[in-house]
Amino acid sequence: MDPKESVASQTNVALELTKQLLLTEFKDKNMVFSPLSLHIVLSLIASGTRGPCLDQFLSFLKSRSTHHLNSLAHDLVTFVLADGSPGSDDSIHPGGPGPRLSFANGVWVDESLPFKPYFKHVVDTAYMAALKEVNFKSNPDQVGMEVNSWAEKETNGLIKEILPPNSVDIYTKLIFANALYFKAYWVNKFFDTETKKRNFYLLDGSSVKAVPFMRGGGYQYIRAFKGFKVLRLPYRQIGVYPRCFSMYFYLPDARDGLPALVERVCSESGFLDSHVPHNKLYVGKMSIPKFKISSGFEASEVMKRSGLVLPFTFDPLKGGNVTEMVESPAGEDPYVSAIFHKSCIEIDEEGTVASAVTVATLSGGGAPPVEIDFVANHPFMFFIREDSTGTVLFMGQVLNPLAG
């Protein structure tokens, strides 16, 4: 698969996930997430998956094979995500070095499940992931804290506690993690040093007052389309030519036009590529609110709505030329139990700081659990009993929890 084709496929997956998130968990709130971070972790898992589960993964990730996924990951790590900051002293490079990039992958594996040579080779070479053997059974909470500390360190302190309490237990077998940190300065001083406070209008017609706006103007990369405009602000770039980072702003003409624009951006194939401003036009007034937002979600439900059913087992092909991910005891194939994601972003007159972490936990001990709900939102009865004898100590029913 051509590298551009691979990236286009990854973008299509990202837009599908974006649409799902904006229609559900974040339909009435700010959102930021890193589809790249999610894609890397999913690709890592797919590289150790075989059989029907692999077919499902490849379909979801819109890729022909794990070879293409691994090649894309290698290209991203070595070129797109290579650090462009030769030092931390901004005085050496007026306007700031840039961009500063930190991209790290980590794998924690239970010491009872050593990696097969093939998968260890993939982890080392394609993903450049740090591999650590741990004992989940003896102290799962300690491993969870270690992953959280790793994520905080790799994101320069921006992402804390990616794994919630009790998300790592004695049944956990593997943890895959990705951390991404990005800091970049605008290539030019696009904005005045003084902000101006003004109203910001909401979708429901109301407004919030005293929002600090960055102001600028002059010749900018901008293009007007029917119903919306696109502004591109490039970041300062040192080295790794011809790489270039930019931030794009998609602004609907109508104050309540964002939902319709989101639908177009996420549904029309190749929309982003066909709506890039290549030429500079004069901008009389440029006004963008300063913002700092963070988002977090457990991605399993989002993946399910997009076509990837979780949890599922790793179902390796026995006796094939390519071995499975780990040496697992019979009946204990690992399965994906949860995928956690957190992101944050802040922009101001100088540039942008953003970070993301994705962590997938894999459990073991048999087939994945059958999905079942227990929502006690209607009358129910209860028992309290001593189990060794079956003696019932209490029993009852609840018809109205507020009735006392």
Summarised one tens digit per residue, pLDDT across range 107-134 is 999 988 877 788 888 889 999 999 899 9
User: What CATH number does residue 15 fall under?
Assistant: 3.30.497.10
3-state SS of 79-112 is: HHCCCCCCCCCCCCCCCCCCCEEEEEEEEEEECC
Does the residue 380 lie in any domain? no
Summarised one tens digit per residue, pLDDT across range 134-143 is 999 999 999 9
Q: Are residues 316 and 239 in the same domain?
A: no
The pLDDT assigned to 321 comes to 34
Does the residue 392 lie in any domain? no
By the 8 A CB rule, do 66 and 46 touch?
A: yes
Percent of the chain with pLDDT over 90: 20
User: What CATH number does residue 226 fall under?
Assistant: 2.30.39.10
- CA–CA gap between residue 261 and residue 263 (Å, rounded): 5
Q: Are residues 35 and 23 in the same domain?
A: yes
Does the residue 236 lie in any domain? yes
Least confident stretch, 39-43, 93-97, 279-283:
93-97
Average pLDDT over residues 348-368: 83
Does the residue 377 lie in any domain? no
pLDDT band at 383 (very low <50, low <70, confident <90, very high): very low
The total number of structural domains that make up the chain: 2
By the 8 A CB rule, do 174 and 120 touch?
A: no
Does the residue 302 lie in any domain? yes
By the 8 A CB rule, do 333 and 313 touch?
A: yes
Q: Which domain holds residue 339?
A: 3-185+292-363
Two structure tokens written together for 119: 């998968």
Write down which residue in 363, 380, 397 finishes a domain. 363
Does the residue 382 lie in any domain? no
Q: Are residues 57 and 125 in the same domain?
A: yes
Q: Are residues 335 and 353 in the same domain?
A: yes
Q: Are residues 330 and 297 in the same domain?
A: yes
Q: Are residues 158 and 230 in the same domain?
A: no
pLDDT band at 368 (very low <50, low <70, confident <90, very high): low
Kindly tell me if the per-residue pLDDT of 366 is higher than 80: no
Q: Are residues 65 and 28 in the same domain?
A: yes
Q: Of 108 and 57, which is predicted with more confidence?
A: 108
Summarised one tens digit per residue, pLDDT across range 268-316 is 888 888 888 889 888 888 888 888 888 898 988 788 777 776 655 543 3
